[in-house]
Structure 1
Amino acid sequence: MSNPNELTIAEARDALRKGDLTAVDLTEACLSAIEAAGALNAFVHKTPEIAMEQARAADDRIRAGDAPAMCGIPIGIKDLFCTRGVPSQAASKILNGFVPPYESTVTRQLFESGAVMLGKLNMDEFAMGSSNETSVYGPAVNPWRVDDRLLTPGGSSGGSAAAVAADLCLGATGTDTGGSIRQPAAFTGTVGIKPTYGRCSRWGIVAFASSLDQAGPMTRSVRDAAIMLGAMAGHDPMDSTSADMPVPDFEAMLTGDVRGKKIGIPREYRMDGMPEEIEALWQKGADMLRDAGAEIVDISLPHTKYALPAYYVIAPAEASSNLARYDGVRYGHRAKLGPGDGITEMYEKTRAEGFGHEVQRRVMIGTYVLSAGFYDAYYNRARKVRALIKRDFDQVFADGIDAILTPATPSSAFGLGEMQDADPIAMYLNDVFTVTVNLAGLPGISVPVGLDRQGLPLGLQLIGRPWEEGDLLNHAYALEQAAGFSAKPQKWW
């Protein structure tokens, strides 16, 4: 089989079970593609020995008739997931040299289901960024290209998005705190789902903002997302926020039938200055779902305008608390100390050297909003706004809306370096359509629907009811079928 690395997870699974393909051949094809794609800077810690060992074990399981859906499927793991015996740096200098002696719950479950780890993927440092430019490894590069510029694959899961779009792996893990799965998926013409908060365990995933972080899959199709999410999800007693709920067969729920379903179009997402292409794509998506039998309903989410300010108080506050543990004492980077330096100087120098500028900015904001005299004015007020945002969604779903359709991003992928010197708030605006979903703990998915006039992919976002990822995936499947998006980046790397 030529170029097996270009198969979807579903196609590869079926070929493996029929005996048309072995996991070893599939893994070797991916490893070769990775070696040829150094220009994309997607994989930052390669694990070919582990991959081949897991592939041989997967072939044995398949021959024995004991093959879950992910068995033999080569995937990439975002560098935020702790992987036993493999560097796990969260793309930060401060975790240089950290090799965890334990496995995150999500990766353990993937490996138990037979998935093959090709290596660790690039990302924004501590998942703080929307362009993968805050990484200690340097930026990941979008495989899509329309001129001389190198484009961002989005962030923070930029390496995951680039690797899936460039056929380096069949799927990848991502994490989403304010849009870090859905925005990169939209920028690279791939599918990314953020499940309901608590659906996937956070144990063993380096924390950014604990009340917002959620792991999810990044794949080439909605069906693949359903298959991979099924392997990642499940209750974990080691994570107190993990939901003790059964994991349905998400793939079996993909009928494509959305007749009679009510799809909400929130008027507050029509932002001033929204590009005409995004507006037209959104309208096209609504028309496609209407043609598939869904009812399109105008809805209001009145507190949407407060979402970004609330997010950029809550997320940095939680980051400030979570990142306090990186002090140079136990593991990772430690600054060289001068004569007379004590423990305080060691903390200060280590953190100043170890954290990049964006992480420093967010830690300082977070520390400020949590400080005496400002806690009520900022942090407590943001928490109240968050409750109002969640209530908006609860009300809409109580009124019978089954899913909500919005743009995924305010633009297509932009050039690397184009926004670095701008006001940081300009970069934060990339999350304008996605952060509400994290604040409310809801599931959201980005589906590629078309190309802009330059020829770059654009995605639409569907937001679902809590714990109803199966229905959400089915709405996304109907949208995917109607859009028929099949464009791929031209290989230049």
Structure 2
Amino acid sequence: MIPDEILDLPVVELAAKLDGGTLTSLALTEGYLARIERRQDLNAFITVTTERAIAEAKEADAARASGKRGVLLGMPYALKDLIDTAGIRTTWGTRALQQRMPAADADVQARLRAAGGVLLGKLSMTELANAFGNGLPTANHNGACRNPWNTKWWAGGSSSGSGAAVAAGLCAFALGSETWGSIDCPAAFCGVTGYRPTYDLISRHGVMTVAYTLDKVGVLARDARDVAPVLEALRQGELEPARAPSRIALVETKGKTLGPAYNDAWTRATETIKSLGSVVETIVLEADPKRLGAILTILLAERDVALESFTRAHAYTLYDREPWDAKAKWMADAGFSAVDYVKAARLRAIVQREWQERFAKYDVVVGAGRADPPILADKKLPDDDYGVSFGRVMTDGNLAGLPGVTIPMGFTPERFPLSLHAVASPYDDRVLLAFAEAFQARTEFHRKRPATG
């Protein structure tokens, strides 16, 4: 049996072992499959593709033996269960679509397969990517997806299984999706690196739609270095060259009720950032509720079109127990009109222009991550379920289509992970990842692992 410490290695180090002949894809794949079986308590997977994974691992080992190379060749990964996989059920995390069987792969899956990746299975997610709201983590396939750091805690959402599986070492990396925080949240709660690309840099063809102009497919990994090879396999557009950021802005967090554990971790993180060799300045971003209203208006209006079969029929049976009549009422009471949507789109243009001006001065802007206390997996979500840290930088980043990265920066005394969130200019994804890699080269938080169970 492959040692646990091997399964916990980042992609770049696993690839070196595969290329060096000290590890085979088959052994690595069987190791992950065994750990998946052992950690069913996390409820991280909806479908495990055991036979296919073993076959693909053997193919990858044969290809490597013939001289083929590639970081992703033979690398085991998993997909959020809203990414289509030909002949493998893709449920969108809902009771209503348990037998949905796509005829074709999503573009991202086709690219990973072409790169020689090994698909381990499909990952848990909040029902319909939380498109209709969900007050209970347990309103989920087989119950709540649990946090590897403490199974009493929720793993976050909507890419719940992606965060939990990566943190628990059930796969080398995972794909998730984000409309407004759905990569950031599980990455933060589970203490892993979560990358959201520039809007439309990675194809969403064959991926469930929540909001046409907000959805992104991204990567969750244990190490920021692992994102680059996955990005290179998936991107469908050109990027600015990789370089270290020369100027970094830190968003002032003074006055926020983040709590002493977070404040201490943030202070240490800022000192680390100041040691990177970049010019570092502090900026203030004033609270602006209109931005929250804008992203919510765009999200809900586009959701009603993308998921019209659900919103009009009201006949589907969901894990969420809220009656469709009640959902219909709060959707109707929201009263979004074409005028509201246009106003929100105009505000988005203003936000995009503001950030364009900001990036004329700074390469990377770093802000507070999520500072919420752990959310219990078996309890109703708090009314403000993302707390004070459902933050400005991440919200603006999604609204403006900016690349973003969530990275670990510490723990509470109870060993709950703490994170920061950084953004860069559109198509400066490589610069953003260079910042994340430099930060992690000077810290050890991303190397900490929960108990393997």
Q: TM-score when scaled to structure 1?
A: 0.84
The answer for the alignment partner of 1:102 in structure 2 is 104
The answer for the alignment partner of 1:222 in structure 2 is 224
Which of 132, 145, 153 lines up with 1:151 in the alignment? Answer: 153
The answer for the alignment partner of 2:349 in structure 1 is 387
Tell me how far 1:436 sits from its aligned partner. Answer: 1.6
Which of 275, 296, 311 lines up with 1:312 in the alignment? Answer: 296
Tell me how far 1:127 sits from its aligned partner. Answer: 1.1
| Residue 372 of structure 2 corresponds to residue 411 of structure 1 | yes
Match of 2:257, SS state, is coil
Tell me how far 1:394 sits from its aligned partner. Answer: 1.4
Structure 1: which amino acid aligns with 2:433?
L
* 1:86–1:6 CA distance, 2 compared to 1 (3 A): same
Tell me how far 1:19 sits from its aligned partner. Answer: 1.1
The answer for the alignment partner of 1:238 in structure 2 is none
* 1:85–1:247 CA distance, 2 compared to 1 (3 A): farther
Tell me how far 1:307 sits from its aligned partner. Answer: 2.6
| Residue 226 of structure 2 corresponds to residue 262 of structure 1 | no
Structure 2: which amino acid aligns with 1:164?
V
CA contact (8 A) 1:73 1:170 kept: yes
* 1:61–1:313 CA distance, 2 compared to 1 (3 A): same
Distance 1:6 1:248 in 2: 31
Cα displacement string for residues 9-39 of structure 1 (whole angstroms, at most 9, x for unaligned residues): 1111111111111111110001000010110
- Two-structure CA RMSD over aligned residues (Å): 2.5
CA contact (8 A) 2:368 2:389 kept: no
Which of 170, 179, 185 lines up with 1:183 in the alignment? Answer: 185
Distance 2:70 2:323 in 1: 39
The answer for the alignment partner of 1:453 in structure 2 is 413
| Residue 448 of structure 2 corresponds to residue 487 of structure 1 | yes
* 1:475–1:363 CA distance, 2 compared to 1 (3 A): farther
Tell me how far 1:233 sits from its aligned partner. Answer: 1.7
* 1:306–1:359 CA distance, 2 compared to 1 (3 A): farther
CA contact (8 A) 2:256 2:388 kept: no
5 Å-filtered alignment, 1:280-429, equals 280-302=264-286, 304-326=288-310, 347-348=313-314, 350-351=315-316, 353-354=317-318, 356=320, 369=334, 374-376=337-339, 378-398=340-360, 400-420=361-381, 422-423=382-383, 425-427=384-386
Tell me how far 1:132 sits from its aligned partner. Answer: 5.0
* 1:429–1:290 CA distance, 2 compared to 1 (3 A): closer
Cα displacement string for residues 290-313 of structure 1 (whole angstroms, at most 9, x for unaligned residues): 112122212244464433222222
CA contact (8 A) 1:82 1:104 kept: yes
5 Å-filtered alignment, 1:231-270, equals 231-234=233-236, 245-246=237-238, 253=242, 257-258=244-245, 261-267=246-252, 270=254
Distance 1:370 1:202 in 2: 29
Tell me how far 1:370 sits from its aligned partner. Answer: 6.2
Identity percentage of aligned residues: 29
Match of 1:100, SS state, is coil
The answer for the alignment partner of 1:477 in structure 2 is 437
Tell me how far 1:271 sits from its aligned partner. Answer: 5.9
CA contact (8 A) 1:313 1:366 kept: no
The answer for the alignment partner of 2:142 in structure 1 is 137
* 1:61–1:247 CA distance, 2 compared to 1 (3 A): farther
CA contact (8 A) 2:81 2:93 kept: yes
Task: Count residues with an aligned counterpart.
Answer: 445
Q: TM-score when scaled to structure 2?
A: 0.91
Distance 2:281 2:109 in 1: 39
Structure 2: which amino acid aligns with 1:167?
G
Distance 1:119 1:28 in 2: 13
* 1:35–1:180 CA distance, 2 compared to 1 (3 A): same
Match of 2:438, SS state, is helix
Distance 1:28 1:270 in 2: 48
The answer for the alignment partner of 1:439 in structure 2 is 399
* 1:133–1:466 CA distance, 2 compared to 1 (3 A): farther
In structure 2, list runs of 5 or more residues that go unmatched: none
Tell me how far 1:68 sits from its aligned partner. Answer: 2.0
CA contact (8 A) 1:290 1:296 kept: yes
Tell me how far 1:247 sits from its aligned partner. Answer: 5.5
Distance 1:363 1:389 in 2: 31
Tell me how far 1:199 sits from its aligned partner. Answer: 0.8
Distance 1:296 1:171 in 2: 31
